Structure 1
Amino acid sequence: MSDAVSRFLHSWTRLRPDLDLSTVAAMGRVLRLAALMNNITEDGLAGAEVTRPEFEVLAALRRSPDGLRPRQLTRETIASGASTTKRLTRLESAGLITRTPLERDRREVQVRLTDRGRTLADTLFAAQLDREATVLAPLSTDEQAQLADLLARVLAPIDRA
């Protein structure tokens, strides 16, 4: 099978035969797949009223019925605090979330989806599942499960969320 990573690997093998390039095949494909999937998601959201990072915030909030604090959203979405604040401001202006000060510490807020935000998150998530199914279509159900298990084994030790 020839893909971009195969070409990169071939080039590096010629340029630096002294290096152990055994990680390139797997990691190169993981990174390239992530970048391409981000592009596919962005394209799929082109007609929606949110960007991919904003969709990630909506999805994180949808999974958390009691809402989340901004720092929790920052961890969930692997974003910077400043990016999270910017996204929350935009989503609140669009009427998709609310930010409510906490009783015990008015400096902290709890972020929750509005009804409109919940409906949009559900709609966008269903469409995202369709896009992901299309990307994984070359694999059988068993192969998809095996891939998920292998990736989980690699991710678990480094995922601090």
Structure 2
Amino acid sequence: MNSPGGGHAPDAPDLVDRIQREWAQAYPALDVRPVGVLGRIHHIAAVSSHRLDRHLEPHGVTRSEYDVLGALARSDRPLRASEVVSTTMLSGASITKITESLSRRGLLERRKSERDGRVVLLELTAQGRALVDDELPRRLADDERALAGLTPAERESLAALLRKISAAVGS
């Protein structure tokens, strides 16, 4: 049954319920309940990522590139590549490749540090800032729609529970 927003009723069985039930039937001796939680986390992440990819496509930017631009937009100063690595969950090698590409397209500037010429600092250009300024409100609106059915207290509880799971799986 569909709800007014076009999705399924929150209590209706979903794809993850079916997958969990199938695993339980195929492996009755195993506790497959974690599938109910982590399967939904994976599904939410996949749908959210797909939507973000669709929104970024007209800008000619990938999700990883947007993550780098976002890290720079959140900072109050230029960042070293290693600092971008620590805030994006991307590897150092991919940061180098991504920042070179973004630089060629005029979305960020790579320049040597005045204090240490071996250090490359990364900073958004006006064009890069405009892209983030354009896309962030749309992304937040998508996220808000996803969370619209939760009360503020439920959102806080969910965030706290997900923080525990995140800590348990490590970085």
TM over 0.5: yes
Q: Tell whether 2:140 aligns with 1:129.
A: yes
Aligned residue identity for 1:43: R
Q: 1:158–1:8: structure 2 CA closer, same or farther, 3 Å change rule? A: closer
| Distance in 2 of aligned mates of 1:96 and 1:71 | 19
For the 8 Å contact 2:20–2:33, the answer to whether it is kept is no
The alpha-carbon deviation at position 53 of structure 1 amounts to 1.2
Q: How does 1:1-161 map to 2 (within 5 A)?
A: 1-160=12-171
SS class of match (1:110): strand
CA RMSD of aligned residues (A): 1.7
The alpha-carbon deviation at position 76 of structure 1 amounts to 1.4
The alpha-carbon deviation at position 117 of structure 1 amounts to 1.4
The alpha-carbon deviation at position 125 of structure 1 amounts to 0.9
Gaps of 5+ in 1: none
Gaps of 5+ in 2: 1-11
The alpha-carbon deviation at position 104 of structure 1 amounts to 4.1
The alpha-carbon deviation at position 55 of structure 1 amounts to 0.9
Aligned residue identity for 1:81: G
Paired residues in the alignment total 160
| Distance in 2 of aligned mates of 1:69 and 1:141 | 36
| Distance in 1 of aligned mates of 2:137 and 2:57 | 15
Deviations 1:69-110 (A, max 9, x none): 112212211112222112101110111111111234322211
| Distance in 2 of aligned mates of 1:45 and 1:119 | 13
Deviant stretches of 4+, over 4 Å: 157-160
Name the residue aligned to 2:9: none
The alpha-carbon deviation at position 40 of structure 1 amounts to 1.0
The alpha-carbon deviation at position 139 of structure 1 amounts to 2.4
The alpha-carbon deviation at position 150 of structure 1 amounts to 1.6
Deviations 1:124-161 (A, max 9, x none): 1111101111222232333223222221232245555x
| Distance in 1 of aligned mates of 2:71 and 2:30 | 40
